[in-house]
Every structure is written in structure tokens, then in C-alpha cells.
Amino acid sequence: MSGHVDRLLASFLKYLENNSFEGKPAGLYEAKNYLASLGGKRARPIALMAAAEAANGTIETALPAAWAFEMFHNFTLAHDDIMDRAVMRRGKPALHDQYDEATAILAGDNMMLFVYQRLMNNYPNEVSIPLMKLVTQTGIEICEGQFMDMEFEKLKRVKEDSYLHMIKLKTAVLLGACLKAGGIVAGADEQDLEYLYDLGLNLGIGFQIKDDLMDAFSDNPKLGKVKGGDIMSNKKTILYIKALELANEQQGLELKEWFSKEVANNSEKVQAVLALFRTLKVEENVEAMMNTYYHKAYQDLQKLSFNNQKMEPLQAFVGFLAGREH
Amino acid sequence: MSGHVDRLLASFLKYLENNSFEGKPAGLYEAKNYLASLGGKRARPIALMAAAEAANGTIETALPAAWAFEMFHNFTLAHDDIMDRAVMRRGKPALHDQYDEATAILAGDNMMLFVYQRLMNNYPNEVSIPLMKLVTQTGIEICEGQFMDMEFEKLKRVKEDSYLHMIKLKTAVLLGACLKAGGIVAGADEQDLEYLYDLGLNLGIGFQIKDDLMDAFSDNPKLGKVKGGDIMSNKKTILYIKALELANEQQGLELKEWFSKEVANNSEKVQAVLALFRTLKVEENVEAMMNTYYHKAYQDLQKLSFNNQKMEPLQAFVGFLAGREH
């Protein structure tokens, strides 16, 4: 089934290549092209295109919106990386590190404006307005999620539902918006648009939980990341939150102690925290939580009224992101 | 005539007060309200409302757009102040200084999204689409102008026409867009929209030149600025560019020398540079340049097909900005 994902990715990359940024001053547009080229899975445009095909639309109609939503994502990454002082992005220097911070702020702003331009120039008003309302509301929520994430860093303890709300805003709403946008460009009805959005939300939350899990437990961490990176940087992921829930007083104190300091020997710290996680069965508990969201996503997929044969690319995409096929 | 300007300002401030930002996380929305409250002349919303009245529209129809364009301006200020390392804005701490840089990036991004939201929620598609196309194109140009401005800081010499192009993009296009937006909400025809835009461009370039003049020659510098501040920070304003044009070799070397270093005694530096400016008749030359743009603006004003009586607020606004009434 991954043939569909590869096919959609290839279409998107071709469109991206044919639509590189050109303009003056050259330095500004060069920075935008660097940002656009940083790549990654391109999950959001693939989601949008798969949803459009499911709703009986064409890739051609979906491509400008797929580009716009991916560039919107890149705009948020450029600014988040400044705020989070992240140096690397997908194994390459982050935009503000490759150029400078002022360029990264400006290239992000400029990129966001091109999102609206692309939508207005490529769709009739009755399609571009719903797409712009969607990307605007989603963007507002992403800002709120990012702000919450930064606030959490200063808190001693974050509750599980606050954390889930934060990752919903920071990550999942954009995947929901992409799937819904695919439905919009293909003319799907309101009920299906709602199911597509919910599917994206659940898939996105599940995927973000998986991201936290992989950071600690996978021997094959994501490109540009090291195993246990979240533990080293005292990040209060769902693993830490769940561990504190499951811990007795002594274990809780030990966890908080590790997560309140920088240490010289990170390897010792990661080992100690992972040992605690194992004792508390954190991986099993968080995996069960992830699977609940993935299960909801599969239920949303069932609710869609689309032709079964047309659904194959979307099913392939869900499997691709939920990790059931590789 | 300034009664019109005061009346439009009062209407705008009331609308602003009734439309403060509310949402969660509270810290993000508080930062946006701080940014919106920093004030200033509110030239852009007043321009928009005056143009709408000239084109036989109402203040009520113009207010959401006036708010949107002013918030767009504030978004650019929030980010520019980070890039320019500006500490003060209109006599108060700049947003990133009052809060922190991450908050200022995020509040700016979020503010920009609310611009689009306001336009889509308050106007029918046939009005909101032209307004959004206008604000988008203008925003892209403002980014380009800001990037050019930052590039100029690294250059030894900037040509007069490059400088004028930069201030056109960085400042004047937004005033042109505001006047045009006032025409759009009032249903003006294409020809009048074009004249309104040109009026704003010429007025905006003239006003920016005036800003450079006042920094050096006014005994009553703008709020939060000190006399000669541009000279102290080696800013290559139109005064410096014009002075180099007019200087002989010896004078040119002296100017370049002053503008290539930081000095302990700023007062001595400002005195010396101003003496050179006086010898070279820089003020008279640059004033003549400013007046050329103001003259063009008054010509644009004459071209408009609107009812003469309705034009009074717009005439008052042009006089207000061109400094012919106080």
C-alpha cells in the first residue's frame, strides 16, 4: 500500500521543485528556498492529497493547497526553532543557524504571506475562503500551543490533560486541517469534512505520543535526534508525566531530581531515567494511550462516506503514519 | 481642519478598546494587547477611514479594515524591533523587551493571523478577497524592504535610488495600501483606487524623508528618540546619502570616517556631522526632495473623482501628515 504514499510524495516534490521562490532581495528568497527544502516526511501535503483523492478530487486540484499547508508548517518551524533555540532541523542546520535570526524571522513571515497568496491565486473565492479560514484558525491554535509548550518548561508539574491539549494545538490541529483542506478542494460535504478533521486530530495526537516514545525507546531515533534527547534536556514529555502518575513518593522524588538539573554524564542520566520508566511500565502505558488515539483515527476513517476504492491512498497514509506497515 | 483627524482617531480608539484580544493562554493575548496599545499617531487607520469617507463610505464599514491594517502594522513593528535590536517603541519598552523575544515573535505571528480573520469575518467575499490580496502583497513588500534595510547596514555606500526604493517598500506601500483599502470598502472604482494608492506612496515617501530630517534638525524629536540618534548609530539615512553626493573628496572622507565608528563623545560627533551637513546644504536639498513627493501627493489628491465636500477628511489627513497645519 505504500505505493500510494510514494506516488503522492513524488507529485508533491515535483510541484515544490517547479515552484521555488524567486524574488528580490535574493538573500530573502534564498532563505525561503532553504527552509522549503529541509524536507522531512512531507506528511501534511500527502495527507491533504490523499484526502482529496478519497473525496473524488484530483491531485492537480489539491497541489496548490498541499504546497500552501506545507509552507505554513515550515513558517511555524522557522519561528519555533528560534524560540526553542534548536540548532538542527531534520539533520541540517536550522534556518536561523544557517543564516541569522533576523533572516529566519523575516523568511518565516514572508513564507506565511505566500500561503495566503497561493490560496487566493489558485482557487475560486468559494474554495479559497474556507481554506483561508481553516489555515487562519489553525495557525492561531498553533501559536497558542507553542506558547503553552514554552510555559510548561517553567512549570514543575504538567497535568496529562494539559499536555494532551498542548500537543493537540501545537501539532494535531494542522494534520486535521490538512485532511479537511483535501476534502474542501474536492468538494466534500460538511459531515465528511468533520470526520476528516477528527481523523487528523486523533492521528496527530497518536503520532506525537509515538514521537515521545521513540525518543526514549527506539534504537533508531529520528534523523538529527539522539536517543534520550528529551531526557537530557529535561523535557516534560508524556513519558515523564505518565511516570510521575505511576510513581510512588520515592520514585517521584528521584524523577523530579533528574529532571531538575543538567548533568555532566548524560549517559548515566538517560540510563537511570529509562530504568525508572521500565520499572513503572511507562512504555506499555503510553503505548496503550497512543493506540487509543490510533484506534479512534481508524474509526473516523470508517465513518467517511467516500467510495471504498478511492479511499486506498488515505488508508495507506493512515497506516504510514500509524506505523502499521513498516 | 484637524477636527476631522481627531474625530477619526477617536472613532478608531473606541473600536480598538472594544476589540481587545481575549483568549488563552492569557500571556499570549496580554502581549498582543500591550503591542496594540503602544499607540502612536495611528496614521494608517486614519488614512483608511478618511479615504473611505472620501469615497462616500461610512466609518462603520471602514473600522474593521482600519483595525486589521493597524494590527498588521503592529505585527511588523514587533518583529522589526527584534531584528533591529530596538529597545524602545513610542517611549515605552518594545514588546520583546517588555516580555521576551519568543513572546514577541509569537504575538506578532498570532496578530498577523487575526488580521486575516478580521477581514474574512467582517466583509463579504467580494470585499475581503481584494483586501486580503492587498494586505498580502503589501506584507511581502514590507518584508523585502526590511531585508534591504538590514543589508544596507552592511554596505559602505547606498545609492539614493536604492534608498528611496527601500523606504517605499518598508514604509510607503502600507500607507498606499491603507488608502486603497478605504476605497475598496467604500466601493470606489479601479481608477480612484489607483490614485489613492499613489497618493499614499508619495505621502509615505515624503513622510519618511521628513522623519530622517527631524532626527537631525528638529529641536523637538519624536517621542522616544533623541536628536541626532541616526547619526550616533551610523544610520545611512537620506541625509547621509545626499551629503556624500554633495561632498568633495575631503568632506566625503570625513563623513565616512564619522559613520564608520562608535565614539565615546556622541555630542561631539553629532555636532561635527551637523556642521558638515550645514556646509553642504543637506537640509535644503533633502527638504526639496521631500516637497517633490508631497507635491505629487497633492496632485494625486486632485485627480480623485470624489465629491469635494466628502474629500475634507482626506485633505485634512494629507495636511496632517505633510505637516502643513501644525
A120 and B113 in contact by Cβ < 8 A? no
Q: What is the mean pLDDT of chain B?
A: 94
Least confident of A93-102, A316-325, B170-179, B294-303: A316-325
| pLDDT, chain A, mean | 94
Tell whether A326 is covered by a domain. no
Mean pLDDT confidence for A15-32: 96
* pLDDT digit string, tens, across residues B132-159: 999 999 999 999 999 999 999 888 889 9
Instruction: Report the chain B residue with the minimal C-alpha distance to residue A130.
Output: B120
Q: What is the torsion angle, in degrees rounded to the nearest 10, for the CA atoms of residue A185, residue A190, residue A193 and residue A198? A: 160
Number of Cβ atoms within 10 Å of the Cβ of B261: 8
Are B68 and B30 in contact, with CB atoms under 8 Å apart? Answer: no
- Write phi, then psi, for B284 (nearest 5 degrees): -60, -45
Per-residue pLDDT, A326: 35
Chain A nearest-CA distance from B302, in A, is: 33
Whether residue A105 and residue B126 make contact (CB cut-off 8 A), yes or no, is no
**Range B77-98 average pLDDT:** 90
Q: Which residues lie across from A92 on neighbouring strands? A: A89
Choosing among B30, B111, B136, which should be mutated to test the A contact, i.e. which has the most A CBs within 10 A? B136
pLDDT band at B222 (very low <50, low <70, confident <90, very high): low
* Cis amide leading into A25 (omega within 30): yes
pLDDT at residue B277 in the model: 97
Q: What is the pLDDT of residue A224?
A: 61
Structure confidence at residue A90 as a pLDDT band (50, 70, 90): confident
Distances (CA, A) of B228 to A167, A204, B156, B235: 49, 54, 20, 10
Taking CB atoms and an 8 Å limit, are A150 and B120 in contact across chains?
no
Which pLDDT band holds residue A39 (cuts at 50, 70, 90)? confident
Is residue A12's pLDDT more than 90?
A: yes
3-state DSSP assignment of residue A34: helix
Determine the Cα–Cα distance for residues B1 and A112; give it in Å rounded to an integer.
40
**Residue A309 belongs to a domain:** yes
Q: Which domain holds residue A185?
A: 2-316
pLDDT at A54 over 70: yes
- The answer to whether A113 contacts B140, with C-beta atoms less than 8 Å apart, is yes
The pLDDT assigned to B223 comes to: 59
pLDDT confidence of B224, banded at 50, 70, 90? Answer: low
What was the ipTM of the complex prediction? 0.95
Specify the length of chain B in residues. Answer: 326
The predicted pLDDT at position A325 comes to 43
Q: With an 8 Å Cβ cutoff, are B113 and A151 in contact? A: no
Answer yes or no: do B112 and A117 touch at CB < 8 A.
Answer: no
Whether the pLDDT of residue B325 is over 50: the answer is no
Average pLDDT over residues B199-208: 97
Distance separating the N- and C-terminal Cα atoms of chain A: 11
Higher-pLDDT residue of B191 and A220 is B191
- Top-confidence residue, A90 or B212: B212
Ranges A239-243, B2-6, B282-286: which has the least confidence: B2-6
Measure A321 CA to nearest chain B CA, in Å.
Answer: 29
Question: What tens digit of pLDDT does each residue of B312-321 get?
Answer: 999 999 999 9
How sure is the predictor about B293, in pLDDT bands with cuts at 50, 70 and 90?
very high
- The pLDDT > 70 percentage for chain B reads 97
Within a domain: A322: no
Nearest to B68 by CA among B17, B38, B112, B28: B112
Which of A231-235, B31-35, B217-221 is predicted least confidently?
A: B217-221
Chain B residues with CB under 8 Å of A144 CB are: 23-25, 28, 110
CATH code for the domain in which residue B46 is found: 1.10.600.10
CA B281 – CA B163 distance, rounded (Å): 20
Number of domains observed in the structure of chain B = 1
The per-residue pLDDT for range A182-212, each reduced to its tens digit, is 999 999 999 999 999 999 999 999 999 999 9
| Whole-number Cα distances in Å, B61 to B51, B64, B67, B123 | 12, 7, 11, 9
Q: B120–A139: do the CB atoms touch at under 8 Å?
A: no
Name every residue in A having a CB less than 8 A away from some CB of B: 23-25, 27-28, 79, 82-83, 101-103, 105-106, 108-110, 112-114, 116-117, 120, 125-126, 128-129, 132-133, 136-137, 139-140, 143-144, 146-148, 150-151
| Helix ranges restricted to H, B123-221 | 125-154, 160-167, 173-185, 190-217
Q: Are B101 and B82 in contact (CB under 8 A)?
A: yes
> Is residue A159 situated within a structural domain?
yes
pLDDT band at B87 (very low <50, low <70, confident <90, very high): confident
CB contact under 8 A, A143 and B109: yes
Residue to test with chain A: of B22, B71, B84, B116, most A Cβ within 10 A: B116
Instruction: Give the best residue of B35, B99, B110 to mutate against chain A (max A CB count within 10 A).
Output: B110
Mean pLDDT score, B288-308: 97
Q: Residue B55 falls within a domain, yes or no?
A: yes
The partner residues of A93 in beta bridges, in order of sequence, read A88
In contact, B75 and B54? CB cutoff 8 Å: no
Q: What residues in B contact A120, CB-CB < 8 Å?
A: 129, 132-133, 136
Residue B96 resides in a domain? yes
Distances (CA, A) of B9 to B109, B282, B309: 26, 35, 20
Q: Would you give the end-to-end CA distance of chain B in angstroms?
A: 11
Residue A188 lies in a domain: yes
Residue A287 DSSP class: H
Q: What is the pLDDT of residue B221?
A: 64
Nearest-neighbour CA in chain B from A44: distance (Å): 20
Q: Is the pLDDT of residue B237 over 90?
A: yes
Nearest to B197 by CA among B133, B263, B284: B133
Do residues A276 and A243 make contact, with C-beta atoms less than 8 angstroms apart? yes
> Which tens digits make up the pLDDT trace of A119-155?
999 999 999 999 999 999 999 999 999 999 999 988 8
A254 within some domain: yes
Question: What is the pairing mode between strands A88-89 and B88-89?
Answer: unpaired
Residue A28 near residue B147 (C-beta atoms within 8 A) = yes
Q: Which chain B positions have a beta carbon within 8 Å of A114's beta carbon?
A: 140
Question: What digits encode the pLDDT tens for the residues B70-85?
Answer: 999 999 999 999 998 8
* Distance of alpha carbon A277 from alpha carbon A266, whole angstroms: 16
Task: Report residue A9 as a C-alpha cell.
Answer: 510524495
Average pLDDT over residues A287-309: 97
CA quadruple B97, B101, B102, B103: dihedral sign: positive
